Amino acid sequence: MKIKACLFDLDGVVVDTARYHYIAWKKIAEDLGFHFSENDNERLKGVSRMDSLDILLTIGKVTLKQDQKELLADKKNNLYVSYISRMTPDEILPGVISFLDELRNNKILIALGSASKNAMTILDLINLTQKFDAVIDGNKVSLAKPDPEVFLKGASELGINPNSCLVFEDAQAGIDAARNAGMHVIGVGHAENLKNAEFIIPGFENMNFDRLRSLYL
């Protein structure tokens, strides 16, 4: 098979933390005096914390100085961390654990490639840290997706050539990052938000090693 390593995005692929990000950003928007809809939240998926704040402020037509933005980003993160602190392994998306186990049994290396600076906290809370051979998160990269840095660092830590890597992503910025890294990519979710993915799956419930092998002979 062409694939020697799989790299997973976190939010929207392994767990659904997007709703926690959303309620935290919504609270920030309300404090600033404007409404932030779930539809608006789609624009923040896969985007770094500071870039998310810039998008939020553009939506609310609010201009702030850098130090005020940093305070708001901290406030949002404190809210978000308080929400995720109660996460449990029950929140792992269906089919993810068995797919990770099958990959390991078939000697495919596994990495996490997430924009989140809270990725390690989440992996520990849901008891999944041990299933990854490498974890690249928002603390280890300086360039946000669609820059390929997060996935290229993952491939390098695993010691695998990018063209033998397969990325699973739920956000357009992440699909673009994987493509920019010269990797294979499967979109997780709805086709309209996942242009340029090689294949699209709704989730991992029907994903297994045999299916992977048939897609990437």
Catalytic residue numbers, as ranges: 9, 11
User: Judged by CB under 6 A, does residue 203 bind ligand B16?
Assistant: no
- Give the shortest CB-130-to-ligand B16 separation in angstroms: 19
118, 141, 187, 212: which one binds ligand B16 (CB under 6 A): 118
How many residues make contact with Mg ion (CB under 5 A)?
6
CA angle 40, 90, 150 (to 5 degrees): 55
How far apart (Å, rounded) are the C-alpha atoms in residues 196 and 168? Answer: 13
Residue nearer to ligand B16 on the CB measure, 47 or 160: 47
Query: What track of x and - describes contact with ligand B16 for positions 32 through 71 (by CB under 6 A)?
Result: ------------xxxxxx--x-------------------
Burial of 74 (0-12, 13-18, 19+ CB in 10 A): exposed
How far apart (Å, rounded) are the C-alpha atoms in residues 128 and 44? Answer: 25
103, 111, 115, 158: which one binds ligand B16 (CB under 6 A): 115
Stretch that binds ligand B16, among 10-18, 28-36, 195-203, 207-215 (CB under 6 A): 10-18
Residue nearer to Mg ion on the CB measure, 162 or 174: 174
Q: Which residues from 140-179 bind Mg ion, rule CB under 5 A?
A: 170-171
Residue nearer to ligand B16 on the CB measure, 82 or 106: 82
DSSP readout, 71-122? Answer: HHHHHHHHHHHHHHTT--GGGBPTTHHHHHHHHHHTT-EEEEE-S-TTHHHH
Pick from 20, 29, 2: nearest CA to 121:
20
- Give the pairing of strands 199-201 and 165-169: unpaired
Residues that bind ligand B16 (CB under 6 A): 9-12, 21, 44-49, 52, 77, 114-118, 138, 171
